Amino acid sequence: MDMYEKIVSGEEKVSLVGLGYVGMPIAVAFARKIKVLGFDLNKEKVELYQSGVDPTNEVGDEVIKNTTVEFTADASRLKEAKFHIVAVPTPVNDDHTPDLTPVEGASRLLGQNLTKGSVVVFESTVYPGVTEEICVPILEKESGLTCGVDFKIGYSPERINPGDKVHRLETIVKIVSGMDEETLDLVAKVYELVVEAGVYRAESIKVAEAAKVIENSQRDINIAFMNELSIIFHKMGIDTKAVLEAAGTKWNFLKFSPGLVGGHCIGVDPYYLTYKAEQLGYHSQIILAGRRINDDMGRYVAESLVKNLIKVNIPVKAAKVAILGFTFKEDCPDTRNTKVIDIYKELGEYGITPIVVDPAADALEAKRLYGIDFQSMESIKDMDAVIVAVAHSCFLELPKEEIDRFFHPGHEQKILMDIKGLFDKKDYQENEYLYWRL
């Protein structure tokens, strides 16, 4: 009986190393078909899962309560599995160089508990070469085993979109790769158990790594173009959204929108690719240009707010400003690498300390990472300006009458900065509002 048959029959387990926004949904999906061990270093997170609570909101408490995943923070239990999937974050350092600490740490822990005959598949987004040149030596050193003889490796980049209830693990084609044909076949068959959309067999691990890192780099560049257009059209007094709607009537126009680019993927992955390119003597031009534009958008929004305050004769220093939304994307509690913090900090340079409201965000995480305490919706009153920074569903449902009540009644014009263009600008006429959007 080969490993695939043993996995399907329940004789062998699959382990998930890293139970965040990516790893946990994968573990839950596989647990519907096979035996799954879910491991994470964070004991508090594991205890939440064990008690039936989903802190990520990716699958919901009810699914966590009923899943058969064996959640654990005990690394020694990884010995119980033969097929391991590593799904840990790959952030960047302050200087934009790759921070491989999480994936190296996961490789170290897994190596210490690796048994002969195992297969290790990495899902973390990395630059081409990381799996074979960095992770494998760690696995070998910690386990005392030899890759290709005692264990095999593969790579299958995650494509889960946090907060997206449509594009899920099951509905997105999965890229798979392996160090040899036998491994590739096993990895493909295991993922085919849960991925209804099917798998794509990449010709090598490096090809799979490269495919993932350019997916997000391409999106980053396209959004940067939209952001640059927004800056230009504002100088021309033209509404960018109206321009994009008009251009979008052509069949081959790519429908991207301007916005803040944060999170763990789009705002991070391009730096992995350019870092590797620089090691090889090539300095990126287009990719890094796009990154510079997108990294600067928080400052641009803050400066635009200050100009609008001056325009309506409201003193800038100590102006009362509310920011609605703090997460890196809509309807997702994750605040890590949010670019809304850039707006907050830049306004602080002008003597403005905004109040931040986000009922969808992880408040404890925001306090720990940024030292910010969220306020309630009821606290938004007598404001000089309001910034709607994230397109949460709860903000989309806000009627104009409620938004009216956010502002100081003495202002002739209310400044509404609608970054994502959530509202119909026709509802916010110039005689009452100074309505601004990217």
- Do 259 and 140 lie in one domain? The reply is no
Does residue 215 fall inside a structural domain? no
pLDDT of residue 347: 96
pLDDT of residue 162: 63
Does residue 21 fall inside a structural domain? yes
- Do 26 and 147 lie in one domain? The reply is yes
- Into how many domains does the chain fold? 2
- Do 160 and 36 lie in one domain? The reply is yes
- Do 200 and 233 lie in one domain? The reply is no
Q: Which domain holds residue 21?
A: 3-204
pTM score, whole prediction? 0.90
pLDDT of residue 332: 85
Provide the CB-side half-sphere exposure for 3 (13 A, CA): 22
- Do 298 and 402 lie in one domain? The reply is yes
Does residue 216 fall inside a structural domain? no
Q: According to the 3-state scheme, what is the secondary structure of 245-260?
A: HHHCCCCCCCCCCCCC
pLDDT of residue 152: 97
Provide the CB-side half-sphere exposure for 419 (13 A, CA): 30
Does residue 219 fall inside a structural domain? no
Residues of the chain with pLDDT under 70: 1, 161-167
- List, by residue number, the catalytic residues: 265
Sheet holding 118-122, edge to edge: 70-72, 36-39, 13-17, 81-86, 118-122, 151-155, 174-178, 199-201
- Do 171 and 301 lie in one domain? The reply is no
- Do 174 and 303 lie in one domain? The reply is no
Does residue 118 fall inside a structural domain? yes
The enclosing domain of 240 has a CATH number of: 3.40.50.720
pLDDT of residue 333: 87
pLDDT of residue 410: 86
- Cβ distance 97 to 108 under 8 Å? no
- Do 265 and 301 lie in one domain? The reply is yes
- Do 374 and 424 lie in one domain? The reply is yes
Does residue 112 fall inside a structural domain? yes
Does residue 334 fall inside a structural domain? yes
- Do 239 and 162 lie in one domain? The reply is no
